[in-house]
Amino acid sequence: MATKKVSYVSYPEAVFLHMDQMRLAGESRYGVFVRSLIESALARPQQAAIYENADLIRQAASLYLGLIKNHPWEGGNKRTASAIVDEFLYRNGQEIVASLEEVIQLVLDIEADRFGVNEIEEWLRQRAIPLLT
């Protein structure tokens, strides 16, 4: 399961991704709301790897859930969560193939407590493909 070295997203990288996403979208309400909530969400994949022997997709599901449910940003929490999870998967050789509508529905389901980590994991597994090298 969790035997391959995994590259995790750091706090500075997450902040950069958030700022970049929000500026590209022309948003005016953005920035760090609570740093510890970001750090907590970013630690979830590593905790899942250690305590659950979680593979990459399970770790990504845990990250998605933490980033959306913690509401750590001033604005753009769901958008930023998607960007960070995409980056996490990309740097580890995976990408998600899904329509914008599917991603929007996913983040709304997470936000509304219709999806927990198991459902997010299943959603990701159905759409994750290895990057072409």
Question: Residues 22-67: pLDDT tens digits?
Answer: 999 888 888 899 999 999 999 999 999 999 999 999 999 999 999 9
The answer to whether residue 90 sits within a structural domain is: yes
Confirm whether pTM is higher than 0.75: yes
> What is the DSSP secondary-structure string of the chain?
-TTS--PPPPHHHHHHHHHHHHHHTT-SS-SBS-HHHHHHHHHHHHHHHHHH---HHHHHHHHHHHHHHH--BSS-HHHHHHHHHHHHHHHTTEEE---HHHHHHHHHHHHTTS--HHHHHHHHHHHEEEPP-
Give me the CATH number covering residue 102: 1.20.120.1870
State the residue for tokens 């770790």.
59
pLDDT computed for residue 133 by the predictor: 65
User: Are 29 and 74 a contacting pair, CB within 8 Å?
Assistant: yes
3, part of any domain: no
The reply to whether 4 falls in a domain is: no
Considering the domain boundaries, does residue 43 fall inside one? Answer: yes
